[in-house]
Amino acid sequence: MNNVTKFRIAKPARDVFEAFVDPEKIGNFWFSSSSARWETGQTVALEYDLYGAVLDIRLTEVEPNRKIVFLWGEGEDEHTVSIVFRETADRSVTVVEVTEEGFREDDPDLIPKLVDNKEGWVFMLTCLKAYLEFGVKDLRGALER
């Protein structure tokens, strides 16, 4: 089972794509830091200082300005995430579509997991929009647990 989240960003696809793959930019809207530029075949460590967490992602496909696919989690909890960038004809707007696959339909906690997952992607994409369209860089850590 998968979960799909879409968001419209008023920037060209190259700008949106670079925000994800450039270690200097990702900290402005999502994780605190990235260990390397995202490229096909790499494993990249993402740090989230607010939660004291480090997460490895395994990049299986990186197509500049068009698509990023990675694996995260382990064992039964491993998921595939696809981030697709669809640019309008005039190149002024990009629709970002995030699809996370790997949810087990027989999981008794499926619904809460899907809701939590959707909330996470919506929050990240909201932070991305604020960063790219308005220069806001401090939303990422706004939700404290």
Q: Name the more confident of 79 and 49.
A: 79
Torsion of CA 99, 100, 104, 110, to 10 degrees: -90
Torsion of CA 21, 124, 83, 58, to 10 degrees: 60
Question: In this structure, which topology does domain 2-134 adopt according to CATH?
Answer: Alpha-D-Glucose-1,6-Bisphosphate; Chain A, domain 4 (3.30.530)
pLDDT digits (tens, 9 = 90+) for 62-73: 999 999 999 999
Max CA pair span of the chain = 45
- The pLDDT of residue 142 is 54
- The pLDDT of residue 50 is 82
Q: Is the overall model pTM greater than 0.85, yes or no?
A: yes
- The pLDDT of residue 143 is 52
Q: Where are the domains of the chain?
A: 2-134
Instruction: State the average pLDDT over residues 71-87.
Output: 96
Percent of the chain at pLDDT exceeding 70? 96
Asked if pLDDT for residue 15 goes beyond 50, the answer is yes
Instruction: State the average pLDDT over residues 19-39.
Output: 96
Asked if pLDDT for residue 42 goes beyond 90, the answer is yes
- The pLDDT of residue 145 is 45
